[in-house]
Amino acid sequence: MNRLLSVVSTILLAAFAFPAASAFSDCVPNDTELGPFNPPTFSSTVVNSTTFYSLLPPSPTPLPLLVFMHGSTGQWDFYNESLSFISTHGFAVVFPFVKSPSKDKSPFTTNTDGTYLLKAIQYAKEQNADPNSDMYKKIDVETVIIAGHSMGATCSINAATSYPSASAVVAMHPGICGPFGPPPCPSCWRSDDLAGVGLNMPVIFTTATNDGAFWPAPYTAKHELGCYLKAFGEDDDGEWEGEDSVFVQFNDEVCGEDGEREPVVKDGGHNCPMKNMEGGKPEMTLLLKAAKLYGHMEGDKESKCYGLIYGEEDVEGSLLQLNQTDVLEFRV
């Protein structure tokens, strides 16, 4: 009898060791704690000369996939803490390189057409189907969040045009839309492409008032807003027939340089997604909310995740309620 009880206890402990995939937790206003899918396992793999870094947290069931592309001269160290934080909330993360982790530090190593994000998705699918892989049957390859920063944000928009079944796209500080940019086409994205993406999936587009990467601040943000409005219309008049989207222009205060990442990198303005304190506030925590909303909650408009992104000013912790933005444009 004691042996039977021991076996039953072991089974129950295994059953409740991790959260059920059907019971992902909803968002909370200040989600700065590590999630229950912890710790994620890091791996580095080279496939056909392309290097992929990945994070896979423990889970009894497959987890949604987040593919994230770095900016020009980008390094894993710029984003790893925030991406690891997001992974603990229930996401497999794949981070591709154009040439290699060392060569991608060069400003001459570029890609803007989304090729490497698409390669990251394909890599995850192949690993998920390979019985010899540590990722075997551990990724929900039907639920994909495409995201990136700067050059990688341009990549995310262009990758989403070629992968319309993605659950959402999060573009953080992309280059200015073409044809003139900067950067000019063909190293650009176009507003009509973004509009097409928005017909298939939700779009979260971020920038900052003090972003001076492509034009002197505040004109980078002003031009990015113009590109967004060109894609989604000048007014939220209810005529937008695509998926929900939002343009978020964070203010100088929340995206100001705080010195926390020095000497590795400065984290103000254009590099606001490189902040790593408190889960990477404000931009990487917004990425987490968007990933949970569309990766876990299937876009449920009754969820707290939805309210924190699209909710009115009376919703605690919503973008409208927080004093962190200079411009918010919703298309819902």
Per the rule left: phi > 0, alpha: psi between -120 and 50, beta: everything else, 180 is alpha
Q: Once rounded to an integer, what is the mean pLDDT over residues 107-117?
A: 97
Q: Once rounded to an integer, what is the mean pLDDT over residues 269-286?
A: 96
Mean pLDDT, the chain, whole residue set: 92
pLDDT above 70 (res 36): yes
Q: pTM of the predicted model, to two decimals?
A: 0.93
- Per-residue burial over 197-227, b if 16 or more Cβ lie within 10 Å, else e, is bbebbbbbbbbbbbbbbbeebbebbebbbeb
How much is the pLDDT for 238? 66
* The token pair that represents 237 in the structure block: 């008049």
Q: Once rounded to an integer, what is the mean pLDDT over residues 298-324?
A: 96
How much is the pLDDT for 167? 98
Q: Once rounded to an integer, what is the mean pLDDT over residues 161-185?
A: 96
Report the range of poorest mean pLDDT among 22-36, 130-144, 179-193, 287-301.
Answer: 22-36
Query: Is residue 234 very low, low, confident or very high in pLDDT (cuts 50, 70, 90)?
Result: confident
Q: Give pLDDT tens digits for 178-195.
A: 999 999 999 999 999 999
* The token pair that represents 82 in the structure block: 């925030």
How much is the pLDDT for 264? 85
* The token pair that represents 133 in the structure block: 């892989």
Q: Give pLDDT tens digits for 37-52.
A: 999 999 999 999 999 9
Peptide bond into 101 cis (omega under 30): no
Q: Once rounded to an integer, what is the mean pLDDT over residues 216-232?
A: 97
CA angle 27/35/144 to nearest 5° reads 70
Name which residue leads in pLDDT, 236 or 294: 294
Domain boundaries, the chain: 33-331
Rounded alpha-carbon distances, angstroms, from residue 75 to 102, 158, 234, 328: 8, 21, 36, 30
How much is the pLDDT for 218? 98
How much is the pLDDT for 65? 98
Query: Is residue 23 very low, low, confident or very high in pLDDT (cuts 50, 70, 90)?
Result: low
* The token pair that represents 291 in the structure block: 């990933």
Q: Once rounded to an integer, what is the mean pLDDT over residues 155-170?
A: 98
Query: Check: CATH 3.10.129.10 for 33-331?
Result: no
Query: Is residue 8 very low, low, confident or very high in pLDDT (cuts 50, 70, 90)?
Result: very low
